[in-house]
Chain A
């Protein structure tokens, strides 16, 4: 199979999955709740108001018609009005997205920078004490409840050691004395561009604990995956050859072996990027981080269904697109994949 036909097939498959996802989210939003109309007008509404809501929401129409309406609204960017903020859900998402992305990117960077070397070392020192410790660390990263880990960090680094702030994105005093100009929405980037170093320092200290907490899960997965693929690659003949011709061990590990072990690691990273986006629902609420996760954590108890559904769709879209990109990138880099 050529590269073009592989790409075509993969894109078509993603489009098909997207359609399926839209049907599932539609069913969740409009069929699972026992009475969406009551939900819409609130529990104290009169029967007439409920009846009117049923008409307005199109609940008296057949299901396929409602699905088409749902898709039309969705594609036009009308994702409903948030019950909590009274703003269009899509506008809320746009407001809160940069904060979440900044946190997510920092967390993932930690996962990559620490996770890959740890995985390599663990594989190279297979069945040693160090290997066992690294494995325990990686499994603990996957098993730890992030919301609890975040609270422990606050307890240690904020309350006991008084080193780092407990939550928020920046000091309120800094916001008054040297306010941030909004360019990209990423505080770290914006403060550097504008030369606002006070704000940069404050934003950075606020970012440390939440991004460490967020990193736990992807870090664990990255170490595990790097270790597993490295163990396989290290048995290959070319690695033995590289050693035999007297290359330094670090060069064999990090240049020759790692390059061929990175494919599955990349896939796991993409996967955990999207998983961590859901993880922010828990972490942001612990750290009062003003992003999508905090928005979601507030939307859930206030039964803000349009917001919850909007976020579900957004994260899933993100997940599918990311998977598609990784698959295409891998196919581009490794011709063997296209042939499978």
Chain B
């Protein structure tokens, strides 16, 4: 499908357009965070006790927290952390999942059988639960969260890539390359991999929303980032103690998680419809 055609389909759906717009804003916020935040020191954990529990006002758009830190600054900086967790965790999962998927799909036979059975086992855990158990066993830290999420996510990519590779393997151009005497390495790297990656990349970008949600959930349970990191899940978790009196402390970080996850899901949903012609929007009379 041509890029222009895909773009046309995206623009045609208001929900997908909304998702793309929010996502662009989120990414720009993450990039320009240091220039946007009014109180950069607060974002990194400086305390201003005399300012604590200020409700939202002009000086502090989202109010201040229990240590007097500007919540707006912390939420803006949190964008970087959440996106970073998302990209690194998915990157790690792809780094494990893609090679295994290629091996499984291209070599086939016993190797395929073995890898796919391991994949089956990992897929039989609910992902949040597996990530939670691994993070609990590794100990609470941001790095461990990313490792835990990657371990819970790689099998999805392995299975997807394997199925793609299986079908690409039988295509004429691969047969032709083989007949011309191309090496196994060349066939895999130059022909199979580039031609089976598209669905995997799409799936991975759709997963970013759930990964960000999962990492926030782990932080909420005390397994992810540790104070004073301005991580959204952690901010909601800490704000819980005060929220019936000072509603703004957990509300804004939570809203940030919601909006980011929503944007990724809207885009993902749109992409899925575009990729699956049966679901393409049409009027049923």
Q: A residues engaging B (CB < 8 A)?
A: 13, 16-17, 20-21, 23-25, 28-29, 32-33, 123-124, 126-127, 132, 135-136, 139-140, 142-145, 147-148, 151-152, 154-155, 158-159, 166, 224, 228, 231-232, 234-235, 274-275, 277-279, 281-282, 285-286, 297, 300-301, 303, 305, 308-309, 312, 315-316, 319-320, 323
Contact B217 A282 (CB under 8 A): yes
Complex CA distance for A224 and B272, rounded to whole angstroms:
12
The reply to whether A147 and B136 form a contact with Cβ atoms under 8 Å apart is no
Known: A285-B221, A297-B221; 18 extra A-B contacts, CB below 8 A, are: A24-B122, A126-B281, A126-B282, A132-B15, A145-B258, A155-B243, A158-B244, A159-B244, A224-B269, A231-B284, A278-B126, A278-B132, A281-B221, A300-B132, A300-B221, A312-B132, A316-B125, A316-B129
**Nearest Cβ distance between residue A219 and chain B, in whole angstroms?**
14
Please give, as numbers and ranges, the residues of chain B lying within 8 Å of A143 by CB-CB distance. Answer: 209, 213, 258, 261-262, 264-265
Distance in angstroms from B82 CB to nearest chain A CB is 11
* A139-B269 CB under 8 A given contacts A20-B118, A316-B124, A316-B125: yes
Number of interface residues of B (CB under 8 A): 52
Supposing A24-B122, A32-B137, A127-B281 touch, asked if A151 and B240 sit within 8 A by C-beta, the answer is: yes
Per-residue A-contact encoding for B228-252, CB less than 8 Å = 1, 0 else? 0000010011001001100100110
What 4 A-B pairs come out closest when comparing CB atoms?
Answer: A20-B121, A148-B254, A143-B261, A143-B262
Contact A147 B243 (CB under 8 A): no
Would B137 and A151 count as touching, CB distance under 8 A? no
Expressed in whole angstroms, the Cα–Cα distance for A44 and B258 within the complex equals 42
Measured CB to CB, the nearest residue on chain B to A138 is B269
B283 CB–A CB distance under 8 Å: yes
Q: Interface readout for B257-278 with A: 1 if CB under 8 Å, 0 if not?
A: 1100110111001000000001
Contact of A145 among B124, B137, B217, B223 (CB under 8 A): B217
Inter-chain contacts of A127 with B (CB < 8 A): 281-283
Q: Which residue of B lies closest to A224 (CB)?
A: B269
Contact B133 A28 (CB under 8 A): yes
Give the interface SS of chain B, mostly helix, strand, loop or mixed.
helix
Kindly state whether residue B220 has any CB partner on chain A within 8 Å: yes
Interface membership of B108, Cβ < 8 A: no
B residues whose Cβ falls under 8 Å from a Cβ of A: 14-15, 117-118, 120-122, 124-126, 128-130, 132-134, 136-138, 209, 213, 216-217, 220-223, 233, 236-237, 240, 243-244, 247, 250-251, 254-255, 257-258, 261-262, 264-266, 269, 278-279, 281-284
Question: Do the beta carbons of B133 and A309 come within 8 Å of each other?
Answer: yes
Whole-angstrom distance between the alpha carbons of A21 and B122 in the complex? 7
Tell me what chain A mostly uses at the interface: helix, strand, loop, or mixed. helix
Q: What's the Cα separation between A282 and B258 when bound, in Å?
A: 15
Partner of B125, one of A21, A139, A148: A21
Q: A135-B269, A278-B128 in contact; A147/B15 too (CB < 8 A)?
A: no
Q: Given A16-B117, A281-B132, A300-B136, do A151 and B220 touch, yes or no (CB 8 Å)?
A: no
Contact B137 A148 (CB under 8 A): no
Q: How far is the CB of A241 from chain B (nearest CB, A)?
A: 14
B126 to A: closest C-beta gap in Å: 5
Assembly CA distance A182 to B216 (angstroms)? 37
Q: A144 near B258 (CB under 8 angstroms)?
A: yes
Supposing A300-B221, A320-B124 touch, asked if A147 and B236 sit within 8 A by C-beta, the answer is yes
CA–CA, A285 and B241, complex, Å = 12
Q: Report whether A139 and B126 are in contact in the complex, using a CB–CB cutoff of 8 Å.
A: no
